[in-house]
Structure 1
Amino acid sequence: MEIRAASVLPARREPIELHTGDGLKLVGELALPEQRPPVATLVTLHPLPTHGGFMDSHVYRKAANRLPALADLAVLRFNTRGTSSDRGTSQGAFDGGEGERFDVAAALEYAEFNDLPRVWVIGWSFGSELALKWAQDPLVEGAILLSPPLHRATDADLDAWAAFGRPLIALVPEFDDYLRPEEARRRFARVPQAEVVGVDGAKHLWVGEPFVRIVLNEIVRRVAPDSYPLPTEI
């Protein structure tokens, strides 16, 4: 059977709640391999909620639908403060990336408390800004950024990540609306351990199954290399 855009492969999926340090309850979901413990964990940070980003943004939904089965990965998705999806609405209100520091911390605390292994943070667009600013936690093995705009995240945040020392991979679309590969390489050059991967033909939202497969393969190549490349049929 070919794996298509709408494919949902077997996994243990459970609704979760995250509790922030400033007293909010966030809604989310944890997807786990059906019959084995996960080899690593993806904590996902979604695109800008004021422009339609949420835990079900398509790359993350497809990651949760496929990667537990194909790569033995745990995929943790959640709505940041004030964000809604079919799972529900997280308490609080959008805070431009500042109050969201508590949301990132709550997701990492959940992973630690539940003994989820080898945590990697995956940030997409606005979520990449949250990763750069607030995911410098000893629990985190590295971060993968999808379409990073480097708008809210500054050179100071990049310098802090450089000092943090953990791997940083940026997947940058050739036709991104905000930051394209050449400029991204210049900006990320201040992080010695950063790698910028330009993706030919891609746009900011990674629309189209071929681009989703590129993103998921690049994630798996770093986080669960024994499962790379991902199959296209099962």
Structure 2
Amino acid sequence: MSDSSPARPIRGSSVLPARREVITLHTADGLELVGELALPLERDPVATLICLHPLPTHGGMMDSHVLRKAAHRLPALAGIAVLRFNTRGTSSMQGTSQGTFDKGERERFDVAASVEYAEFAELPNPWLVGWSFGTDLALMHGCEPSVVGAILLSPPLRYASATDLGVWAASGKPVVAIVPEHDDYLRPDEARERFAAVPQCELVSVDNGKHLWTGQAERVLDEIVARVAPEVEVPLPRTWSGPMEVADTSAYADRTGAVFADTPPPEAPPRR
């Protein structure tokens, strides 16, 4: 909650108050995954984001900047719980999850473990928020009964199949694809064609946006909050008058732009 202190700008490294818990997710195939749960400080959450990060072979992790900013801001600004974790074999400042990267296949156990954690913790209204590779994980493995819907940031549709889209279409669950105008992999016009297989999909085209959302995290967070907590006014505040810490993100200086660099991503396994 804010106090009477002078308002200060919320910057990329700002950390607003929340209850933060280091968590361990346990997968059905016996792995332990590193994670964190951020909860509103003095109230129950109105909704929950289960965050699925970009491609770990290209720098993606639970601290990829949009997901980190969601955890640092949304519990205080919107009353939203944010669950982040490293998929198998992925490292961040919080640690390294067990296992090895499996091109989205055995990661199904990772997605299931995160959804089960939210269920057992009785976190309300869980939405999947995937970014890039994380959108493929959401589409391939995330259409679980307890999941309200999915928000897809820069979806490349590289690993997800037509069958996966059909599962979401049949579920009727809301799907929101937030697509940058200048995305490196799937731009708005093609995205409209491919997501036509999911009639309820809402496609949001972001002018001047790029795959990494550099400089546009605030816009992305506003779009997320507008769907998962429509009672919260957006745009969210850009200043904060209460306690505010500053995160040390220097360890990631060489990874911010590496989520998709010039190195070709691994080939997707064939899917029907």
**Shorter-chain TM-score category?**
over 0.9
Distance 1:6 1:97 in 2: 30
Aligned to 2:228: 223
TM-score (norm 2): 0.84
Deviations 1:187-227 (A, max 9, x none): 0011111011110001000011xx10110000000011122
Superposition deviation, residue 154 in structure 1: 1.4
Aligned to 1:193: 200
Which letter does structure 2 place at the counterpart of 1:233?
T
Distance 2:176 2:182 in 1: 18
Distance 1:14 1:146 in 2: 25
Aligned to 1:66: 73
Aligned to 1:152: 159
Deviations 1:77-100 (A, max 9, x none): 000000001110000000000000
Aligned to 2:238: 232
Distance 1:142 1:222 in 2: 10
Which letter does structure 1 place at the counterpart of 2:223?
E
Q: Which of the pair is proportionally richer in helix?
A: 1
Aligned counterparts, 1:1-234, within 5 A: 1-208=8-215, 211-229=216-234, 230-234=236-240
User: What is the SS of the residue equivalent to 1:91?
Assistant: coil
User: What is the SS of the residue equivalent to 1:27?
Assistant: strand
User: What is the SS of the residue equivalent to 1:225?
Assistant: coil
Which letter does structure 2 place at the counterpart of 1:222?
R
Deviations 1:2-46 (A, max 9, x none): 211111100001100000000000000000000111011000000
Distance 1:155 1:77 in 2: 27
| Higher gyration radius (CA) | 2
Deviations 1:152-201 (A, max 9, x none): 01111111110111000000000000000000001001111101111000
> Stretches of 4+ moved more than 6 A in 1?
none
TM-score (norm 1): 0.98
Superposition deviation, residue 233 in structure 1: 1.6
Deviations 1:130-156 (A, max 9, x none): 000100101000100000001101111
Which letter does structure 2 place at the counterpart of 1:184?
A
Uncovered stretches (5+) of structure 2, i.e. residues with no partner: 1-7, 241-272
Distance 1:157 1:27 in 2: 27
Deviations 1:92-114 (A, max 9, x none): 00000000000000000000001
Further displaced range: 155-164 or 131-140: 155-164
User: What is the SS of the residue equivalent to 2:231?
Assistant: helix
Distance 1:138 1:181 in 2: 29
Distance 1:135 1:232 in 2: 32
Identity of aligned residues (%): 68
Superposition deviation, residue 228 in structure 1: 2.5
Which letter does structure 2 place at the counterpart of 1:198?
S
